Structure 1
Amino acid sequence: MNPLWIKHALVGVNGPLPATPALDGNGEVDALLAAIGRQGDDPALHFSRAAGALGACRLAAVTLTHSSEAVPAPASDDPRALDIAHPWSAALADVFADAPLRLQFQACQRLAEHAAHLPTTVVPRALDAGRRSVPLRAVLLPVLGSRGRWLAQFNPEWKFAAPNATAAPAEDDSGKRWEEGSFDERLLHLRELRARDPVAARALLQSQLGEFAAKERLGFVEALADGLHDDDEALLQPLLKDRSRDVKLAAAMLLARLPASSHAQRLIGWMAPLVTSKRNLLGRTSWQCEAPQALDNAWATAAIDGKRPQYESLGERGWWLYQLVRQVPLSWWSTHTSMSAAELIAWSGKTDWKDALHRGWRERVGADDRDWIEAMLDAGAKAFGGDRAGLLALLPTPLRERHWPKTLDELCRQGLVADVVGSCALGETLSPTYSRVLILGLRMAMGNDRLRHDYYLRSQLLELATVLHPDSLSAWKPTPRRGDETTAMAESLHDIERVLSIRCALMC
């Protein structure tokens, strides 16, 4: 609201309304306010209606302050925008009214698959959804169409979709984007440059990285994980002395992935004496792990903190061991001991340092360490169960489902519904086979008294409805109501059925 109107509301609304400049070349808003003024003699009602009208104009991206600029040209026609009579239009209106983010993401993907744009009536709500959710923007921008980009330029809150914000820069503008752009623009430029010319990308960072804030330096260093090469060592090695602890650690973790790097060799030199073997009388080899006995001052040059934080649950020696373990590549353990990932995890449980080992391994594991991920999931909740969803997210969908209960009822009993949903990134769904099992269980769950008392389960099942595979949706049939549902339960059932109905409509 205009500050003058706020002040007017605070001191009283009995006087005349504050002046509002007419739109340049268009007095329709003034005419509307005048008409409102003739509707009765209640000052409070008059003020509220006028303020509401101005608020609606603001939401419609109409500028209410005087401007000498010319009235903008109208938006160009968009032949790819869905007509209001299109079967999807009503569903899309529901999606961007108050549907879950995952459903909005999927709707945009579905439009993109058909090279279609949002209906013009849905565009304002879609822009608001993009304002609230940064992850949504990547799939929203391609389906906004010319009307959406035109409208976005008149509302500062929608600037992410304005033409000048989303247009791809020309080749000769790339340097300007790096010099003058936001952090996100610079990061995008770095990724693009690294993909086509790694040497130039490294040279750019080497010359200017120190000029950025610690948070930005961290982002640029983490971007080097894609396409990591031995040639990156010269860039990363000096960062072990960076001012920021996070930057030092990020550089150290990347250097450890380069087997020929001096940093990786130093890590192995420190770690190998701590993991040793001996033969017993029967000729069998057994392995032992010992934590460092004393602080090595050289660790400071490898992003290893010698001083244990007060809040740290590990003891001092365990703290040192954990920091070494989290940097050493997991492949080294199998090479050094000739044990598989599962065997190493089982062995670690018998040592005095299992907590430090498990914590370090969990931080080191990545999507390429599939045998380790499977072994960690099979190890049980005590070892790695605290981040089960994070581990599952590293696996392809078919491999995740092997670790989940085979019925929705058991998922609910074990409290794993949120893990199943959380392991799916935006735009991902479960497999058709697993989805068919869950959708049958969902129909049974909607008649279960468990939903009556469990708010969290109701919200989790709503999210679950958004990640079921599209091919399974044909098995869904609405659930008859018993008539004794609480208001909250009835609303939850309605929301779940609404999500499934919208998804079915968008699959047609």
Structure 2
Amino acid sequence: MSANLADAGGDWIKPALVGIDGARAPAFPAPVGELLEQVDGDDALARYARGAAAMAACRLAAVEVAPAAAEPPPAAPDDARMIGEGEPLAPALAAIFRGDSERLHHEACQRLAALGRALPAAALASALDAGRQRARLRPALLPVLGERGLWLARLNPDWRYADRGAAGAGENVVGEGAAGEGEPADSAAEVARLWQEGSFEQRLALFARVRAAEPTRAREMLQAQLGELPAKERAAFVAEFDAGLGADDEALLAGLLKDRGREVRRLAASLLARLPQSAHAQRLAAWLAPLVTQERVLLVKRWTLDAPQAADPEWAAAAIDAARPQNDALGERAWWLYQLARQMPLRWWCERTGMDPAALLAWAGKSDWKQALYRGWIERIHRDDGDWVQAMLDAPGRAFGEHHGELLALLPPAQRVRHWPRSFAELCRSGRLDEVLGSCAPGQWLPLDYSRLVGEGLQQAGDTLRQDWSLRQNAQTLLEALHPQALHGWQAPPRAPDDTPALADCLAGLERTAQLRRLLHA
């Protein structure tokens, strides 16, 4: 949408708020106004409705409808990668992006990237809107917009996130070393330009790539700009220190313990705690160790746990909140213990007691401080804590049941299957559909064997779909999460004459989704 059209917006929108009549008929900018003059027989209300509809369509399409002082944009460049409108994949991609399924959007982008192709023209506007609405789609979307998509994005401020800088910051931008040591000078210049001029999403994606390849360089880039960033952006950049975390990061992270942003302080403290030799980790150990002690009962030694008797004045400098929120379920001392436990890496508990994660969970479960420990431990869990993840998933009574989805997501897909229901009927009865789907992020599929098991069950689930409202609500997402190879020959359950319109729509939607996904992977 141009500046001229934006300025004209108030002239044709405001009259609708006070009423439309002949005396107050708004003037529409050319050529919309000229076209309206050619329509005979309209009263003031009909004329306004026609004009407003035309302006709204122009606004969505980013069309210039008023004379512009600037030269018109250059024509869209040719792009050999773009899917042609005559190719079978083009209508499937257009249909996918007209829909609102985040899983299908990710899958389409990943498939195009694997094929080395770009989105067809008919899908670009919808795809750019999808990226505007969902920031986490952008890393997958930007590489497949192609030249036409980047050209179109420049014509609409709502799509500014997708300008040339985003696509230009690919793998080739970050070299093997500093400029002059294996990295082309133009790559160094492009990194510097994007770091200074890019949008937040572009700069964060660039920072993540630099951090993965050159942690020291990334740290220096961020340190130079920390004072200029809002708290939300500081937190996002600090979270990327998880990759390549090392002792050299301590000085920067220690300074962030005094940051104005609560989330920044929390992230910095969590990262510092993972550096055993850091001053912060040493302070945490000094506060926790006296609370986890051994006592002798007859001939047996056993570990005991206590909570702090009082808040330490130095906790504030370690991003530990001593003040318990009034509505929190934990008591004051339990709150203090939870605050310490949520920062200390889980491996410390094993090293301190000699117990494995399963034994520690059982030990904590018998303690007066169970809730404080369980809550702190589930917040402390990290992708490197695979043994703790397995122990929490296997805990008796599904003690961590409400967190199973996020715990499963920390495991490789092949290791998740043993924790899932072993038949489609059991999956429906257990009410664990959300858990299974929640462990499978957009862009991921269920393992092939499990996909076949679920797909066969869903194909024969006509009666269940008629009776189980929960399955009906999740059936579409379940089908989208199946491995593509499990869709060969798949058909939706047959319809019955007495099916409700809602069920008929559900079954038709399943058939359409299966067909689109088959076309995508043909």
Q: Does TM, normalized by the shorter one, top 0.5?
A: yes
- Distance of aligned partners of 1:172 and 1:118 in 2 relative to their CA distance in 1, 3 Å threshold: closer
Within the candidate set 254, 261, 266, 2:271 is matched to: 254
Q: Secondary structure at the match of 1:288?
A: strand
Distance of 1:242 and 1:53 partners within structure 2: 50
Q: Does 2:12 match 1:5?
A: yes
Q: Secondary structure at the match of 1:122?
A: helix
- Distance of aligned partners of 1:232 and 1:373 in 2 relative to their CA distance in 1, 3 Å threshold: same
Q: Does 2:517 match 1:480?
A: no
Distance of 2:323 and 2:55 partners within structure 1: 59
Q: Secondary structure at the match of 1:241?
A: coil
Deviation of the 1:429 alpha carbon: 0.3
Q: Which residue of 2 aligns with 1:407?
A: 423
Q: Which residue of 2 aligns with 1:416?
A: 432
State how many pairs are aligned. Answer: 498
Q: Which residue of 2 aligns with 1:308?
A: 324
Q: Secondary structure at the match of 1:277?
A: strand
What aligned pairs does 1:160-309 form with structure 2 within 5 A after superposition? 160-163=161-164, 166-168=167-169, 171-172=188-189, 174-175=191-192, 177-179=194-196, 181-281=198-298, 283-309=299-325
What aligned pairs does 1:54-453 form with structure 2 within 5 A after superposition? 54-163=55-164, 166-168=167-169, 171-172=188-189, 174-175=191-192, 177-179=194-196, 181-281=198-298, 283-380=299-396, 383-448=399-464, 451-452=466-467
AA of the residue aligned to 2:393: L
Deviation of the 1:172 alpha carbon: 2.6
Cα offsets for 1:365-409 (capped at 9, x unmatched):
111000000100111455211211111111111111211101222
Please say if residues 350 and 357 of structure 2, whose CA atoms lie closer than 8 Å, have aligned partners that are also in contact. yes
Overall identity of the aligned pairs, in %: 48
- Distance of aligned partners of 1:200 and 1:505 in 2 relative to their CA distance in 1, 3 Å threshold: closer
Deviation of the 1:77 alpha carbon: 2.1
Q: Which residue of 1 aligns with 2:182?
A: none
Distance of 1:382 and 1:315 partners within structure 2: 24
Q: Secondary structure at the match of 1:224?
A: helix
Please say if residues 357 and 387 of structure 2, whose CA atoms lie closer than 8 Å, have aligned partners that are also in contact. yes
AA of the residue aligned to 1:337: T
Please say if residues 417 and 461 of structure 1, whose CA atoms lie closer than 8 Å, have aligned partners that are also in contact. no
- Distance of aligned partners of 1:140 and 1:401 in 2 relative to their CA distance in 1, 3 Å threshold: same
AA of the residue aligned to 1:271: L
Cα offsets for 1:133-167 (capped at 9, x unmatched):
22222222222222222222222222222335644
Give the stretch that moved more between structures: 191-200 or 427-436.
191-200
Distance of 1:187 and 1:82 partners within structure 2: 29
Please say if residues 12 and 27 of structure 2, whose CA atoms lie closer than 8 Å, have aligned partners that are also in contact. no
Give the stretch that moved more between structures: 3-12 or 435-444.
3-12
AA of the residue aligned to 1:224: F
Q: Does 2:479 match 1:471?
A: no
AA of the residue aligned to 2:364: S
Q: Secondary structure at the match of 2:242?
A: coil
Q: Which residue of 2 aligns with 1:490?
A: 504
Cα offsets for 1:63-84 (capped at 9, x unmatched):
1233111222221222222222
- TM-score (structure 1 length as normaliser): 0.91
Distance of 1:119 and 1:206 partners within structure 2: 41
Please say if residues 28 and 51 of structure 2, whose CA atoms lie closer than 8 Å, have aligned partners that are also in contact. no
Deviation of the 1:99 alpha carbon: 4.4
Please say if residues 12 and 28 of structure 2, whose CA atoms lie closer than 8 Å, have aligned partners that are also in contact. no
Please say if residues 20 and 48 of structure 2, whose CA atoms lie closer than 8 Å, have aligned partners that are also in contact. no
Deviation of the 1:186 alpha carbon: 4.2
Distance of 2:262 and 2:87 partners within structure 1: 55
- Distance of aligned partners of 1:195 and 1:110 in 2 relative to their CA distance in 1, 3 Å threshold: closer
Give the stretch that moved more between structures: 340-349 or 242-251.
242-251
Give the stretch that moved more between structures: 271-280 or 402-411.
271-280
Distance of 1:238 and 1:477 partners within structure 2: 58
Q: Does 2:514 match 1:500?
A: yes
- Distance of aligned partners of 1:474 and 1:146 in 2 relative to their CA distance in 1, 3 Å threshold: same
Q: Which residue of 2 aligns with 1:53?
A: 54
Please say if residues 436 and 475 of structure 1, whose CA atoms lie closer than 8 Å, have aligned partners that are also in contact. no
- Distance of aligned partners of 1:175 and 1:72 in 2 relative to their CA distance in 1, 3 Å threshold: closer
Distance of 2:199 and 2:72 partners within structure 1: 30
Please say if residues 325 and 361 of structure 1, whose CA atoms lie closer than 8 Å, have aligned partners that are also in contact. yes
Distance of 1:367 and 1:103 partners within structure 2: 26
AA of the residue aligned to 2:268: A
Deviation of the 1:192 alpha carbon: 4.3
Distance of 2:368 and 2:83 partners within structure 1: 64
AA of the residue aligned to 1:33: L
Cα offsets for 1:20-75 (capped at 9, x unmatched):
443xxxx6x5664344x13x344433332232223222222211233111222221
Deviation of the 1:185 alpha carbon: 4.3
Give the stretch that moved more between structures: 234-243 or 476-485.
234-243
Cα offsets for 1:258-305 (capped at 9, x unmatched):
111122122222222211223443x44322111122333233332222
Within the candidate set 19, 22, 29, 1:14 is matched to: 22
Please say if residues 247 and 275 of structure 2, whose CA atoms lie closer than 8 Å, have aligned partners that are also in contact. yes
Deviation of the 1:204 alpha carbon: 4.5
Cα offsets for 1:110-143 (capped at 9, x unmatched):
1111112222122222222222222222222222
Please say if residues 159 and 165 of structure 1, whose CA atoms lie closer than 8 Å, have aligned partners that are also in contact. no
